[in-house]
Amino acid sequence: MTSMSHRDLNTSSHSIDPTAAPSSPSSTYSPELGDLFHNLPGELRERIFASLLVRPVKWDLKHAPGCPKLTVSPPDETIRWLVGAEYPARTNRTYTCATALKRWGAHLGQPTWSDPWRSRWAPPQTNPYVCSRCFDERLRPSPRTFSLPCLCPRRGDDLNVFLVCRAWYAEAGRVFYSGNVMAFAHTRECVAFFRALSPRWKPLVTKVSLLALPPKDVVPRNAREELEMVTVTVGGEDGLREALAALRSLPALAELELDAALFREQEAVNVIREVSFPRLRSLWFVKCTIVDWLRKPETFRPFVWPQQRHRHVLESEAWKSLADRVRGREERDRG
């Protein structure tokens, strides 16, 4: 067999099948992983991305093996009591932050505090004189969660697939936003997330869960006390009205889960009755009870959010009627 010249190899390399065997011993072409992956059928690539990026709604997640919250007692203790030197309120070490000082430069010689709950994907902290919390809240605001009991729900390195190349970023993004349930523990989380989300991804979001969690580090003694602890702002820039408006901006939204605690006030009920989601296939109003958790803590302990994991759908006629109204079903039935 006549070997190919260097010039012939250069001119024909673009037509070589990366999975084919070399045409001659002098050919040194070796297909890379990206080439092999790109040659897979699109449906198979989506399944691979889904296995990396799609997971159950976060309310159903369990603690990772070895998480201190699996062993501490009582079960409601938050992980922040266990991080020791990582958390300034539980250590003898002195931390400082320029935003809390009257004189600039008074911080010299004192370390600033870096929040272990800060997302690894958050913008780089470029100011060494303020703590990470002040940096995120004041200097460069960005969406963040307010309800992370421990670090178990954090994603691992799977999100790195977004950084490989533009093609992977586009394909992985389609799978990520269309396959996952976007879950929020407060209206301000929901508003901040969709306000920052690129218009490129909004049409892909199909499932949302919006619950109302009580404040951190506080465990109610009964269901009534839990309901009283949940604070819901109807107006304002991050209240219930704005959250519903953010959800209405999602053209492909098909499944929506709402915490009934959000609508304990008549004003909130009036707000939800004013909006319509005619494209919704499913709308559930759920209740997150704490009574069983207090009675059987060992049953609930494996879950990161035990109350929310054991939420149940409200089946009364009043809630069903409200769901039909929001979906526009009542008007269609009359028509």
Which position has the higher pLDDT, 237 or 96? 237
How many helices (H) and strands (E) the chain has is answered by 14, 5
pLDDT digits (tens, 9 = 90+) for 251-293: 999 999 999 988 888 888 899 998 889 889 999 999 877 666 6
- Give me the residue spans of the domains in the chain: 44-78+149-334, 79-145
Cα dihedral 185, 188, 189, 192, rounded to 10, equals 170
Q: 3-state class of 181 per DSSP?
A: strand
State the CB neighbour count (10 A cutoff) for residue 135.
26
Which position has the higher pLDDT, 252 or 114? 252
Residues in Cβ contact with 300 at an 8 Å cutoff, skipping those fewer than 6 apart: 75, 292, 293, 306, 307, 309, 310
Any idea what the Cα angle at residue 146 is, between residues 142 and 152, rounded to 5°? Answer: 105
| Predicted local distance difference test score (pLDDT) of residue 100 | 57
pLDDT digits (tens, 9 = 90+) for 51-84: 999 999 999 998 888 787 776 544 444 333 333 3
pLDDT digits (tens, 9 = 90+) for 146-197: 667 777 888 777 888 898 889 899 999 999 999 999 999 889 889 989 998 9
Tokens of 177: 């936003």
Report which secondary-structure segment, H or E, holds 259.
strand 255-259
Distance CA 212, CA 239 (A): 12
In angstroms and rounded to an integer, the radius of gyration of the C-alpha atoms of the chain is 26
pTM confidence score: 0.74
Most confident region among 7-21, 116-130, 305-319 by mean pLDDT: 305-319
| Predicted local distance difference test score (pLDDT) of residue 13 | 42
Distance CA 27, CA 127 (A): 52
